Amino acid sequence: MAKQRQRLVEVPFSKTDCGVDFYINTAYGGECPWVLTEHEVFKTDFFEIFFIKKANGYVLIDYRKINLKDGMVLIVKPHQQQEWHIDEEALDYEFLIFREDFMRTFIADKFFVYRLQYCQQTEIPPYLMCSGNECEEYQRLLKKIRTELRQPQADSYNIIVSVLYYLLAIMNRHYALEYQLPLAAPKNYYAFQFVELMETHIRKLQR
């Protein structure tokens, strides 16, 4: 008898479950066991970036197979279907998750995240490969965010957003160089406005 496929599970960002005060979190994979394989098929309402040190297996992102590799940074956008085929105990990684609206009260450009090259592409893979120096830089920035989240102070929000903005920007430069993409910003935001409206209202308005 054929195995019945598990239904798609929607996983929202929960500050309570994450133990944080903001819509952002970063941790080592070992601190959140089975988070990738708890559900067979799922999607989230937040961005996920995985900094993989020791890889195994593969992941299906919207049915696209991505073989995981050591030194890979994998970017998963909100509402993308995920299916992880891994030995999670053997996967060594750090993750960064955040909701897109987390930065809006601090950054005037509401479409900043949508403009990042790795958030626009459909044909080019949603990952980049890092050298030792690049991995160390990313890990250093993740540690800064993690420190502010676990020992919050009055100005922690501003510091976290600043570090996150810098991290996403240098990753975008790295991604553009790796895949030979232009760094110039587009002249209008119509496409980004469409994506935002679609993600916001897809459950309310369908024609």
pLDDT digits (tens, 9 = 90+) for 135-167: 999 999 999 999 999 999 999 999 999 999 999
Confidence of residue 100 (pLDDT cuts 50, 70, 90): confident
Q: How large is the average pLDDT for residues 69-79?
A: 96
> Which stretch of 38-47, 56-65, 116-125, 170-179 has the lowest confidence by average pLDDT?
116-125
Q: How large is the average pLDDT for residues 117-141?
A: 92
Burial 3-15 (b: 16+ CB within 10 A, else e): eeeeeeeeeebee
pLDDT for residue 114: 76
The amino acid that residue 117 corresponds to is: Q
For the chain, give the mean pLDDT: 87
Identify which of 4, 24, 1, 3 has the alpha carbon closest to the alpha carbon of residue 165.
Answer: 24
Q: How large is the average pLDDT for residues 81-88?
A: 96
Q: How large is the average pLDDT for residues 37-64?
A: 96
Domain at 9-199, CATH from 2.60.120.280, 3.40.50.410, 3.40.50.1820, 1.10.238.10 = 2.60.120.280
Decide: 82 and 40 in contact? Cβ < 8 Å.
no
Asked whether residue 5 carries a pLDDT value surpassing 70, the answer given is no
> Which stretch of 2-11, 123-132, 146-155, 175-184 has the lowest confidence by average pLDDT?
2-11
SS3 sequence, the chain?
A: CCCCCCCCEEECCCHHHHCCCCCEEEEEHHHCCCCCCCCCCEEECCEEEEEEEECCCEEEECCEEEECCCCEEEEECCCCCEEEECCCCCCEEEEEEECHHHHCCCCCCCCHHHHCHHHCCCCCCCEEECCHHHHHHHHHHHHHHHHHHHCCCCCHHHHHHHHHHHHHHHHHHHHHHHCCCCCCCCCCCHHHHHHHHHHHHCCCCCC
Distances in Å between the alpha carbon of 195 and those of 55, 105, 133, 200? 32, 20, 34, 9
Asked whether residue 201 carries a pLDDT value surpassing 70, the answer given is no
**Verdict on whether the full-model pTM lies above 0.75:** yes
pLDDT for residue 176: 94
pLDDT for residue 2: 47
Q: Where are the domains of the chain?
A: 9-199
pLDDT for residue 1: 44
